């Protein structure tokens, strides 16, 4: 599996007050794309958060993208819902599937979900849905959705 490690340093008045390492949930990252991450600090600070690449490990050669189709969204009250269909277009079955969805308001990440999915035979599809709660009505939201899995040998 592909692994992308980041290190983070939280600064306050020019001094590092806390640091940490995180692993991206998304295992495949296309050029010029973004992936959500989560890191919780115990301290608050006035300074910047600096992120750097700590390590990137090549994905298992069997890690493959799955096709995301039929994306649709709805906003009802303070809930944003995303519906899509994941399809395995590979010629072999895929296991250890994962879907990562992120919700944005402008360029600000509001939250993300990483969901493991059941194995998919070649040509098989699976509906997925994700929900974000307590959103502000009337805001212009957009999302990203990525899916991948490990192909099985023929």
Between residues 77 and 37, which one has the greater pLDDT? Answer: 77
Q: What is the pLDDT confidence band of residue 1, given thresholds at 50, 70 and 90?
A: very low
Residue 13 has pLDDT above 80, yes or no: no
Q: How confident is the model at residue 44 (pLDDT cuts 50, 70, 90)?
A: confident
User: Above pLDDT 70, what percent of the chain?
Assistant: 79
Output the pLDDT for position 122: 94
Cα distances (angstroms) measured from residue 147 to each of 19, 59, 116, 132:
30, 14, 10, 18
Give the pLDDT band of residue 154 (cuts 50, 70, 90): low
Cα 13 from Cα 11, distance rounded (Å): 7
Neighbouring residues of 103: CB distance < 8 A, sequence distance ≥ 6: 80, 82, 109, 110, 111, 112, 132, 135, 141, 142, 143
Mean pLDDT score across all residues of the chain: 83
pLDDT band at 125 (very low <50, low <70, confident <90, very high): very high
Distance of alpha carbon 63 from alpha carbon 59, whole angstroms: 6
pLDDT of residue 73: 94
Give pLDDT tens digits for 75-99: 998 999 999 999 999 999 999 899 9
Q: CA–CA separation, 30 vs 8, rounded Å?
A: 22
């Amino acid at each position: 599996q592909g692994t992308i490690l980041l290190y983070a340093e939280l600064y306050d008045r020019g001094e590092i007050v806390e640091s940490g390492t995180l692993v991206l949930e998304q295992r495949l990252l296309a050029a010029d794309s973004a992936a959500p991450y989560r890191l919780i600090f115990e301290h608050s600070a006035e300074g910047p958060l600096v992120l750097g690449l700590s390590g990137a490990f090549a994905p298992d050669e069997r890690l493959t993208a799955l096709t995301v189709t039929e994306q649709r969204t709805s906003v009802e009250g303070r809930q944003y819902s995303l519906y899509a269909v994941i399809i395995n277009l590979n010629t072999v079955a895929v296991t250890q599937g994962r879907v990562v969805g992120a919700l944005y308001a402008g360029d600000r990440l509001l939250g993300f979900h990483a969901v493991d999915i059941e194995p998919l035979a070649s040509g098989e599809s699976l509906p997925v849905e994700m929900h974000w709660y307590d959103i502000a009505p009337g805001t212009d939201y957009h999302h990203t959705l990525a899916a991948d899995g490990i192909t099985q040998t023929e």
